[in-house]
Amino acid sequence: MEFPSTALPQHRKFLLQAVQKFKSDDRILGLACSGSYSEDTLDEYSDLDIVIAVDPVHYHKVLENRFEMIAELGDLLAAFTGEHVGEPRLVIALYGPDGLHVDFKFAKLDDIADRVDEPTVLWERDGKLSQVFAKGVGTYPRLDGQWVEDRFWTWVHYCAGKIGRGEFFEALDFLSFLRVQVLGPLALQQAGFEARGVRKIETLLPEFAKDLRATVCVPEKDELKRATESAVAIYRSLRSSESIAQSKAEQVAMGALQDA
C-alpha cells in the first residue's frame, strides 16, 4: 500500500488496520481516503477522511453495525453521527491513546460518484470503486454571487437588530457566520481556490486574513457596530459586478446599523 509523502506513522498504521479489517468483510467493496490525505498535505493535526463503499444489498445492515465495526480498529474513545454537519452517513470518531480523529463516511457504492473532491483509493474489490470514480470528477460547489447579494442586506439588518436589542453574543455569532459563509468563500473563490469557508485562509490569503481581523471584536455595542461595518466594507470590495444590487435593502440595512 503506497502512502502520500506527508502521511505520518499514526496515519499509516491506522489505515493499514482499517484496510485489513474491511477487506475481510464481503459487504464492503472498497475504501478511499479524501481531504488532506489525497492532497498530500497531512500534518500532525490532520484527521483522516475515510470513504467506505458498501454493497447496496447490505447497506442498511452495515449502518446498523457501523459503530461496532469501527470500534474494532483501535482504542475508540468517542464516536457519533454527523447530523450537525448535514451528513447522517458520517461517523466522527476519536481514537486513543494520542487522539487520532477519523471521519468514516459509509455510502452505497453508486452514491460515491457524487463528491466534492477526488479521494485516493486505498483498496477495492474487483476495481469497483475506481469504476465509480471514473464516472465523473469531484468538484467543490461555487458560491453564487447573486445568491449572496439577495440575502446579505437582510442578514445585516438582522444583526443590527441584535446589536440594538443588546443581544451581543447573537451578533458575534452572526459575524462568524458572515466570515464562514460569505467573506471567506468569496475571497478564496476569487483567488482561484475552493470556497471552503475560512479554511486555511491564513496561509492561502494572508493579506486578506489580516483584513478579516477587523470583523472580530468583543461583545460590546460600539465594537460590534464597527466590526459589522468592516464586514460590509469587505463584502462590498468582493461583491461581483455582475450581481443585481439590492440597493434599497442595502440602504435600509445600513440605516438600521447606524441607529442600533
Q: Output the pLDDT for position 3.
A: 95
Same domain, 51 and 153: no
pLDDT in tens, 191-240: 999 999 999 999 999 999 999 999 999 999 999 999 999 999 999 999 98
Q: Output the pLDDT for position 202.
A: 97
Quick check: is 3 in a domain?
no
Would the pLDDT of 245 be above 80?
A: no
pLDDT in tens, 127-180: 999 998 888 776 778 899 999 999 999 999 999 999 999 999 999 999 999 999
Would the pLDDT of 27 be above 80?
A: yes
**pTM, whole model, 2 decimals?**
0.85
Range of the domain at 93: 9-133
Cα of 15 vs its chain's centroid, Å: 22
Same domain, 22 and 116: yes
Same domain, 89 and 115: yes
Measured distance CA(172)–CA(168) in Å, rounded: 6
Same domain, 71 and 165: no
With b for 16 or more beta-carbon neighbours within 10 A and e for fewer, the 214-224 pattern comes to ebebeeeeebb
Same domain, 169 and 230: yes
- Please name every residue paired with 28 in a beta bridge, in sequence order, or none if there are none: 54
Quick check: is 65 in a domain?
yes
Residue 80 maps to which CATH number? 3.30.460.10
Same domain, 158 and 253: yes
pLDDT bracket for residue 104 (50, 70, 90): very high
Quick check: is 74 in a domain?
yes
Quick check: is 107 in a domain?
yes
Contact 90, 104 (CB under 8 A): yes
Residue 247 maps to which CATH number? 1.20.120.330
Quick check: is 139 in a domain?
no
Quick check: is 4 in a domain?
no
CA dihedral 84, 87, 93, 99 (to 10 degrees): -70
Number of domains the chain contains: 2
152 grid coordinates = 446579505
Same domain, 239 and 126: no
The phi, psi pair for 191, rounded to 5°, reads -90, 0
- Average the pLDDT over each of 107-111, 229-233, 245-249, 256-260 and give the range with the smallest value: 245-249
Q: Output the pLDDT for position 11.
A: 96
Quick check: is 1 in a domain?
no
